[in-house]
Amino acid sequence: MVHISSFGGFKCGHCLAFVSSAHELSGVNNRNHCPYCLWSCHLDLYAAGDRLSACKAGMRPIGLTMKSGRNKYRTESRGELMLIHECTECRAISINRIAADDDPSNIMAVFQESLAHQHQIKHVCNPLGIFPLNANDVEMIESQLYGQSTNNPSRIWQFMD
């Protein structure tokens, strides 16, 4: 359950943190997941921001995927990094944009956890046209979250051996 604040934010139904929905902080127009625990709320039914879902249950982050971009000048064929959420009540699957203020280490933790359940996640996501990222995508994910992979603190130690 989400508690909307008069200050343009909400209280996370999972970790209870206050989450600002200000575009200036998140970089997204329809904020519905917590930047700390990455849990969401089942708000949208047909399209991002429609807020038509009657469910309103918590949606846990189960993995990462890529959404194809519309930028014809992009040099890489991959699109935007997205979170995959699964509703804890009705089991609906949705994808959400990574926001500018999302915790990158928690995003990586979601990805690492998803690797252990990759077969089950693919089974529910692939029929919907959602293709979860796998272990072969780790460098691309790190690059999107931390910039060049050598800037990632976890990678720097590998080069110091």
Look at the chain and report how many structural domains it folds into: 1
pLDDT of 72 reads 55
Please name the residue that has the structure tokens 């399209």: 47
- E strands of the chain, at which residues? 3-4, 9-11, 18-20, 40-41, 58-67, 80-87, 93-97
Q: What is the 3-state secondary structure (H, E, C) of 42-57?
A: CCCCCCCCCCCCCCCC
Residue 73, pLDDT score: 54
**pLDDT tens digits for range 58-94:** 999 999 999 865 555 544 556 789 999 999 999 999 9
Q: What is the pLDDT of residues 3-41, one digit of tens each?
A: 444 457 889 999 999 988 887 877 777 787 999 999 998
What pLDDT is attached to residue 45? 78
Q: What value does the mean pLDDT take over residues 90-116?
A: 94
Tell me which of 107 and 160 has the higher pLDDT: 107
pLDDT value for 44: 80
Report the predicted TM-score, pTM, of the whole model to 2 decimal places.
Answer: 0.79
Geometric angle at alpha carbon 21, from 17 and 22, rounded to 5°: 125
Domain range for 84 is 3-159
Residues near 109 by beta carbon (within 8 Å), at least 6 away in sequence: none
